[in-house]
């Protein structure tokens, strides 16, 4: 959700060729950036996506709504737009009203990865996860866990001296 330039999706697709991935990005420049990363240097004008990677170039919510129950093993929400003003909080993907929809599309035991460098979103995420019963959500890590390829936005946050937090919430089995 919000794949940006797609570095993370591409790295995951390459690291796990047997696993299907969908990169969702609504902003056309992000999609262009992902597609340009696929063109071999000095090479052809276009190159195919890795066979296990699909692009959804529209609102991620429309895709989530269309997915069947329990179809995802992992869902990545990396450095989402923070919508820092309280009156915009309903647009956040991490939201009490949206959690059941996220849980619906995940397998039991499926993982929802969330990263944010924004203090307001960090605090909000901690509060929302503490108040819900759909996911087991241990406290976040303050360093990128192994197996989480870096993203462009994360690099910018680190360069600016911000400290990202990384949550791995697991959908409860029961
Ligand atoms: C702060 S950027 C982070 C991008 C990337 N995950 C990274 O870490 O570099 C957030 C991205 O989410 C995208 N986005 C925001 N709302 C979206 C939505 N509803 N559906 C799909 N993409 C969305 C934005 O266009 C933007 O590229």
Mean pLDDT (whole number) for 64-90: 95
Mean pLDDT (whole number) for 140-160: 96
Residue 171 CB partners (closer than 8 Å, separation 6+): 103, 106, 107, 108, 109, 110, 111, 112, 134, 135
Q: Which domains does the chain have, with CATH numbers?
A: 1-66 (no CATH), 76-174 (3.40.50.150)
Asked whether residue 2 carries a pLDDT value surpassing 70, the answer given is yes
| Residue 146, helix vs strand vs coil | coil
User: Ligand 1, atom 27: nearest CA belongs to which residue?
Assistant: 4
The residue annotated as part of the active site, out of 81, 117, 136, 142, is 81
How many angstroms separate the alpha carbon of residue 108 from the centre of ligand 1? 26
CB distance 60 to ligand 1 below 6 Å: yes
Query: What local confidence, expressed as pLDDT, does residue 86 receive?
Result: 86
Query: pTM, whole model, 2 decimals?
Result: 0.94
pLDDT in tens, 21-69: 999 999 888 888 887 777 655 555 666 778 999 999 999 999 999 999 9
Query: What local confidence, expressed as pLDDT, does residue 174 receive?
Result: 73
Average pLDDT, the chain: 92
For residue 82, the ligand 1 atom closest to its alpha carbon is 1
Active site residue 136: no
CB distance 144 to ligand 1 below 6 Å: no
């Amino acid at each position: 959700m919000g794949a940006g330039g797609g570095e993370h999706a591409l790295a995951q697709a390459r690291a796990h060729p047997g696993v299907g991935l969908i990169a969702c990005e609504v902003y056309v420049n992000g999609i262009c950036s992902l597609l340009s990363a696929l063109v071999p240097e000095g090479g052809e004008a276009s190159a195919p996506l890795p066979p296990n990677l699909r692009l959804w170039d529209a609102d991620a919510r429309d895709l989530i709504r269309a997915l069947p129950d329990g179809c995802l093993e992992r869902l990545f929400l990396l450095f989402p737009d923070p919508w820092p003003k309280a009156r915009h909080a309903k647009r956040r993907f991490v939201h009490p009203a949206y959690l059941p929809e996220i849980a619906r599309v995940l397998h039991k035991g499926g993982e929802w990865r969330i990263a944010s460098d924004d203090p307001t979103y960090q605090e909000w995420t901690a509060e929302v996860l503490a108040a819900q019963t759909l996911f087991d959500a241990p406290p976040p890590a303050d360093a990128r866990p192994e197996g989480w390829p870096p993203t462009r936005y994360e690099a910018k946050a680190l360069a600016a001296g911000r400290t990202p937090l990384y949550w791995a919430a697991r959908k409860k089995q029961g």
